[in-house]
Amino acid sequence: MTIHSCLQNEKKAIVEQWFDKVVSTYPDDTAKFLKSQKDPFANPVGQTTFSGLTALFDLIISGFDREAAISFLDPIIRIRAVQKFTPTRATRFILDLKPIIRKFVQQRLSVADSIRELLALEDRIDELALLAFDIFMGCREKVFELKANEMRNRTYRAFARAGLIAESADNPS
C-alpha cells in the first residue's frame, strides 16, 4: 500500500482532524458552534471551511494544481482575513496538516519510496501555505484600502459640509 492509498482510505478521519485544528483557532464558543452546526445556511463559515479543506486534501494527495488550490483556499482565507487573525494564525492551519498525515502514515516510513512520497506531499503542503499567505495578504490589503477610501470620503464630505472646500464636478463622494 502506498502513502497515497493509505491517505485516501483515511481521508475522512484526516480531514476531520484537520478541521478540528482549524476550528481550535477560534474562541471556544465559536469553535463549538462551528463543529456542532451542520446546516450550511446556519453555519456558512464551518461549511465553507470543511468543504474547502476536503477539496484541498484531495489536491494535496493527488497532485497539485495551483489555480484549483487558489480557488479552494481563497474562501477560507478571506474569512480569516476579516476576523483579525494575524497572518501566521490565519495560515498556520495548512502546516498543521503535516503532523496529522505523519501520524496516519508513520508505519510506512521505513520504505524509501514512502519517504520520498511523503516528502513530495509535504512540499505540496508548503506550496499551499505560501499560496494561503499570498491570498491572506491580498485580502488584508483590500480591507485596508477600503477603510482608507471610506475615511478619505468621509473627511471630504465633512469638510464640504463645513464649507471648507468648494464642491466640484470631480467630487469623490
For the segment 146-167, what is each residue's pLDDT rounded down to a tens digit?
999 999 999 988 888 888 887 5
Residue 87 domain-assigned (yes or no): yes
Q: Is the pLDDT of residue 168 over 70?
A: no
Is 95 a domain residue? yes
The answer as to whether 22 is a domain residue is yes
User: What CATH number has the domain bearing residue 90?
Assistant: 1.10.490
Domain residues for 132? 3-139
Task: Give dist(CA 29, CA 42) in Å, integer.
Answer: 15
Q: Is residue 163 part of a domain?
A: no
Average pLDDT over residues 82-94: 91
| Residue 125 maps to a domain | yes
The vertex-42 CA angle with 41 and 46, nearest 5°, equals 90
Mean pLDDT of the chain: 89
The structural domain count of the chain equals 1
Contact call for residues 80 and 143 (beta carbons, < 8 A) = no
- pLDDT attached to residue 122: 93
Percentage of residues of the chain with pLDDT beyond 70: 91
